[in-house]
Amino acid sequence: MTDEIVKDTGTSGSAAAPKAVATPIRSEAYKASTGSPAPGPAGAPVSAAPAAPATAAPASPAQAAQAGGAPPPKKAGPGGATQGTGVLSRRGFLSTLGVAWTSFAAACAAGAVATNRFMFPNVLFEPPQTFKAGFPEDYLTGAVDTRFKEAFGVFIVREEDGAIYALKAVCTHLGCTPNWLEAENKFKCPCHGSGFYRTGINYEGPAPRPLERYRIVLAEDGQMLIDKTRSFTYEKGEWSQAESLLKV
């Protein structure tokens, strides 16, 4: 169906211009099928729907400052530098300077320690390997002298016949230092119980062999000279050698 054109004539009988009358015949059906009002006739003004008011987002401090004509504030970066300007603040400069001087001082201290360590190399201080033990007459017959046990690790023994020898104060089991027990007339190891006669021969405990002897001779001044660089072992038959004991 279409819109109807109704012609209206005046009393004078002259024809008047046709007058268009828009009759919304299908408006209800169009609205029901499309969900929107039917379009008006051609040339009719279209009324726009009122727009919803927009909600303005809150302005940031930087935007508010720009709106007022002031520059936005700068954020301080690491080390006290202001972001966006590259300028180091006074606090940041002093902090950087302090770190630099601390690192320099630490490096200098490490270098000084290394230099001093180089000037004093590792040296193992040991007692001398040869020493003078006094004159033969300073020792009692049939006794064991322990005066050099702590300093040089040596027992000096003088037999009834006057022979003198120097026993190494090291147990032949695991290297402990035996003690001389005067009441029992023997050397006794405190570690595992090895026992030795006054002559150094082993007779009890786990020690596998007798004590060793050091070289002993008379020096030019008449004193006994003990040489720890040369030792004599019983099981090899070396106790019979001349320098394994001193006969006076």
pLDDT of residue 54: 52
Residue 72: what pLDDT?
Answer: 54
pLDDT at 20: 45
* DSSP bridge pairs for 156: 145, 166
pLDDT of residue 23: 45
Q: Would you kindly state where each structural domain of the chain is located, as residue ranges? A: 131-244
Q: Identify the CA nearest to 72 among candidates 63, 83, 82.
A: 63
pLDDT of residue 192: 93
Chain-centroid distance of CA 144 in Å reads 54
d(CA 183, CA 192): 20
pTM of the model: 0.52
**CATH of region 131-244, choose from 3.40.50.300, 3.40.50.2000, 3.50.50.60, 2.102.10.10:** 2.102.10.10
pLDDT in tens, the chain (248 residues): 444 434 444 444 444 444 444 444 455 655 555 555 555 554 444 444 455 555 555 555 556 555 555 555 555 555 454 455 556 687 777 788 888 889 889 999 888 888 877 777 666 667 789 999 999 999 999 999 999 999 999 999 999 999 999 999 999 999 999 999 999 999 999 999 999 999 999 999 999 999 999 999 999 999 999 999 999 999 999 999 999 999 88
SS (H, E, C) 114-178: HHHHHHCCCCCCCCCCEEECCCHHHCCCCEEECCCHHHHCEEEEECCCCCEEEEECCCCCCCCCC
d(Cα 88, Cα 101) in Å, to the nearest integer?
A: 18
In the prediction, which pLDDT does 9 show?
Answer: 42
